[in-house]
Amino acid sequence: MNAARKTKRARAGSPAAARKKKAEAAVMMSAEKLTKRFGGVVALDSLELELRQGEILGLIGPNGSGKTTFFNVVTGIYPANDGHVRFDGADITNASPQSVYHAGIARTFQRSRLSLPLSIFDNIMIGNHARLNQGLWFNLISRAAFKQEFEESFETARELVHIFDAPLADRMFDPVAGLPMIDRRRIEICRALISQPKLLLLDEPSAGMTHEETAQLMDDILEVRGRMEGLSIIIVEHEMGVIERITERCVVLNFGRKIAEGTFKQISNDREVQEAYLGIE
């Protein structure tokens, strides 16, 4: 078990080398002057942000600094008041959540939003919506064709779950309600990854888990990224160990503004960042 973990980590490659390579990669997503107000509260204040293809970006900041709001604006849950979001060459500002998903952005939620009574397989298939035939005729009448698609999707989902946890892959038709938090987080990430998105938004994946469990989950995420060519990730996280381990670059928010940007080392030495976290005026 431990040996397997180690090889996984080794395969993920050295962060420094990866960083160098990514610097030349194309811009995957960018936010320009992105602003979101709730009444008088400015949750995002002219935010500028750029993400390169294949990069893992950490988004950190104190509670209420606008991290989750950023995800919600990008994924179309909240409309932006001002500014633009560009993704993969297209302007997706204020696009509906559906079209953001179809454009290739998938996400997880701060408070795990799985459908608890449904099985593991069902939950993952919800994320696979874009790749499944949604026609009424196909679903209700041509059952042979449906069965073929079902079997193929099942294999894909099983393989993906297998990367995260082999025993879990044998329980694909168990309801999610009976599973511990770590398995739920795994399934949520599988649900986001099954559609092979270009950008994955992870909202506090460590919430509700132990350090040990978080470390495992991060290894798995890195392994999956190794397999999915060009997957970019933005991760919101409070657990600084996680940020240090897996991100290549960090953006720090405070009161909806970007106050620092750089490697974890750079930002953790930044005076303004320390003030924001410690609350020094």
Partner 1 sequence: MDIGFLAQYLMNGLMLGMIYALVAVGFTLFFGVLDVIKFSHGDVLTVGAFAGLATFLGLEAAGISHPAIQILIVVIVSIVLIAALGAVIARTIVLPIRSAPPLNTLLITLMLGTVLREAVRLFYPQGANPQPFPALLPTNSLTLGNFNLRLDNVIMLVAGVAVIVGTQLLLNRTKLGLAIRAVAQDEETARTMGVNFTLIVLITFALGSGLAAFAGLMNGLYYNEINFGMGLLLGAIGFSSAIVGGLGNIYGAILGGFLFAGLQTIGAVALPFASAYKDVFAFGVIIAIMAWRPTGLIQEKISERV
Partner 2 sequence: MNSGEKQTPATLWPALAGTALTIVYVILLLKVESQTEVIGLLVVGALAILATSWSGHLARAGQALTHHESILHLLVIFGALVIIGFFREDHFTLLLLTTVMLYVLATLGLNLQFGYAGVLNFAGASFFGIGGYTAAVLGAHTPVPDLLIILAGGVMAALIGSILLLPVLRTRGHYAAVVTIAFALLFKVFLEVNDILGGPQGLQVPGMEMFGWKFNNNIEIGALELSFYVNYLIVILLVLIAAFALVRRLERSWVGLNLDALRLDETAATCFGLNIVRWKVTAFLLGNFLIGIAGALSGMVIGFVAPTSFTFADSLILVSIVLLGGIGNVWGLVLATAIVVIIPEKLQAIQEYRFLLYAAMVMLMLLFRPEGLLPRPVRHYFPGWRPK
Residue with smaller CB distance to partner 2, 141 or 181: 141
User: 119 touches which of partner 1, partner 2, none (CB within 5 to 8 A by kind)?
Assistant: partner 2
- Does 207 participate in binding partner 2 (rule CB under 8 A)? no
Please select the residue that binds partner 2; options are 25, 27, 77, 145, rule is CB under 8 A.
Answer: 77
Residue with smaller CB distance to partner 2, 97 or 230: 97
User: 98 touches which of partner 2, partner 1, none (CB within 5 to 8 A by kind)?
Assistant: partner 2
Distance CA 81, CA 181 (A): 36
What is the CA angle 107-109-110, rounded to 5? 140
- Does 96 participate in binding partner 2 (rule CB under 8 A)? yes
Contact (Cβ atoms closer than 8 angstroms) between residue 193 and residue 142: no
Interaction residues for partner 2, span 36-65 (CB under 8 A): none
| Sign of the CA dihedral with 165 first, then 214, 77, and 225 last | negative
Helix (H, G, I), strand (E, B) or coil at 273: helix
Please select the residue that binds partner 2; options are 126, 180, 210, 227, rule is CB under 8 A.
Answer: 126
User: 18 touches which of partner 1, partner 2, none (CB within 5 to 8 A by kind)?
Assistant: none
**Is residue 234 within a helix (H) or strand (E), and if so which, with residue range?**
strand 232-236
Residue with smaller CB distance to partner 1, 77 or 207: 77
- Does 118 participate in binding partner 2 (rule CB under 8 A)? yes
Helix (H, G, I), strand (E, B) or coil at 119: strand
- In sequence order, the 6+-apart residues with CB closer than 8 A to the CB of 74 are 29, 31, 85, 87, 92, 100, 105, 201
Contact (Cβ atoms closer than 8 angstroms) between residue 277 and residue 62: yes
Of the ranges 1-9, 104-112, 166-174, 186-194, which one interacts with partner 1 (CB under 8 A)? 104-112
**x/- track of binding to partner 1 for residues 75-94 (CB under 8 A):** --x-----------------
Distance CA 271, CA 143 (A): 62
Q: Within a 10 A sphere around the Cβ of 264, how many other Cβ atoms? A: 19
Helix (H, G, I), strand (E, B) or coil at 36: strand
Residue with smaller CB distance to partner 2, 133 or 266: 133
Residues lying near partner 2 in the complex (CB under 8 A): 75, 77, 96-98, 100-102, 106-107, 109, 113, 115-119, 122, 125-127, 129-130, 132-134, 136, 139-140, 143, 146-147, 150-151, 154-155, 158, 172-175, 191, 195
